[in-house]
Structure 1
Amino acid sequence: MSLQFIGIDPQTGDDESPTVWIDQGKGELFLQGWRPSPELEAECAALELPGRAVGIPDAEAVVRIPARMVDVIREACDALECADRVR
């Protein structure tokens, strides 16, 4: 796996670093963010939607990403989309 750094929270501090990377080969985004409070994680886990099992599988996690990172996430999506067109 070869991750490509896309961006970091523009307001990051010394102890925080929400970050976005992509793996063009696998067509995947990697997001580092904050853990939600237990209450918010439970709310996410309880959400019932068609095609979605209730709960959070052991191999998955909920992370919080600040809205100010929308441009960074969009850049990552665009990079993956361009890579997909080349393949």
Structure 2
Amino acid sequence: MQLRFLGIIPNTPDTDSPTIWLDEDSGDLLIQSYKATEEEVKACQETGSIPGHSTDVPDHETVIRLPKVMLNYVPRPDSEQ
């Protein structure tokens, strides 16, 4: 796996650092961020996604909260990488 560092939330202390990387091989993003609270997960489940799709979060997945400022580091299809 070849990762490229994309960005870290500005002005965070050493122990509170949402970060984002790009997997150069697959194009996937790896994101370190805040865990969603139980209330936020419940709100996601209540909102749902597509009809018939489970709203349960499997053990191998999680819901994270990505601070808005981190969107600056998400690659766009029309941008150079």
> TM (normalized to structure 2)?
0.79
Q: Select the structure that is richer in strand.
A: 2
Which letter maps to 1:60? Answer: E
Residue identity in the other structure for 2:23: D
Gaps of 5+ in 2: none
SS in 2 for 1:20: strand
Which has the larger helix fraction?
Answer: 1
Q: Which runs of 4+ in 1 moved over 3 A?
A: none
Question: Higher relative contact order at CA 8 Å, sep ≥6: structure 1 or structure 2?
Answer: 1
Indicate the residue corresponding to 1:23 in structure 2: 23
Amino acid across the alignment from 1:69: M
Q: Is the 8 A contact 1:36 1:64 kept in 2?
A: yes
Q: Deviation per CA, 1:24-47, whole angstroms, max 9, x where unpaired?
A: 211101111001211112222333
Aligned-residue RMSD, C-alpha: 2.1
For 1:36, the aligned partner's letter is: A
